[in-house]
Amino acid sequence: MAAIIALVFTIISFPFSSHVSALSSNYYHKTCPHLEHTVTSTVKKAMKNDETVAAGLLRMHFHDCFIRGCDASVLLESKVNHKAEKDGPPNISLHAFYVIDHAKEAVEALCPGVVSCADLLALAARDAVNLSGGPTWKVPKGRKDGIISKANDTIQLPYPLPAPVSNISELRRNFSNRGLSLKDLVALSGGHTLGFSHCSSFQNRIHNFNDTLDIDPSLNPSFANSLRCVCPMYNKNKNAGSALDSTTFKFDNMYYKLLLQGKSILTSDQALRTDKTTRALVLKYARSEEEFEKAFVKSMIRMSKIRGHGPQEIRLNCRVVR
């Protein structure tokens, strides 16, 4: 479930274009004036029925932007002989797609053929954070929907999604490849304040850590034992796992506080403590929720401006191309 001072890349050296000037927070001011209220109402209703929706929408937006840019390619359905992004290994556990479907239906009734699914997803992620007690922000809009979606793009080099077992060098490279900074990495990792991780994503830390140790020594011992109880060596419950912090449905800075206590879940979380720059930022955000929220908003906006390439359109149904 883990973007962003933009660097300048050409299409040759960087697979995403960055025509950020085309985006505007007022993009639909005249063509769909009730857009944001409609999306917020849809997300609010979904979260009332299912508290896990917020984490699902935030993670979905992140996974979308990190593959082909923020073009809603993660929403497209697979076909008989073609697997789409949503069926790539890192995306199997993505959920809450129906929320975007409902938002699209409501918006299409108001403004037919005007609003992209990519913009709907960016707005829904913002609302998910805000409705969970986090900050709000003006979402730049004007994205178009991609027509290409490949499952292999989620895992193949050089631009796979960041893995839960990534070390700091791999994370640095992964974010840099998308024009994002270490500051963006630490701020966006704070999105783990919402959500849940299955045992398979952190099994490497609590069983057979290396040739001499069974448990990752950076883990708090009692916390590690609690994880081992939930996720035994030969776990047969595919739904077993752990919340990513102790305030699962509240957007706050608890993630950073627990990280400093050796109570992070993923290897990629712990990796933030192994670099001087990222550790200093973890300390800063653990001490001040206000500083974290400011950094998170800036990084979310930067990530949301990662633009894709190739043919694009405005989908009428977010799951299929026109």
> What is the Cα–Cα distance from 36 to 159, expressed in whole angstroms?
32
Asked if 255 and 58 count as a contact pair (C-beta separation under 8 A), the reply is: no
Among residues 29, 37, 61, 63, which one is catalytic? 63
> What is the Cα–Cα distance from 105 to 103, expressed in whole angstroms?
5
For residue 111, the cross-strand partners are none
> What is the Cα–Cα distance from 313 to 115, expressed in whole angstroms?
10
**Looking up tokens 């992964």, which residue turns up?**
174
Distance of CA 212 to the CA centre of its chain: 34
Catalytic site residue 37? no
Both tokens assigned to 198: 């299955």
Q: What are phi and psi of 197, to 5 degrees?
A: -125, 135
Asked if 30 and 23 count as a contact pair (C-beta separation under 8 A), the reply is: no
Q: Which residues are catalytic?
A: 63
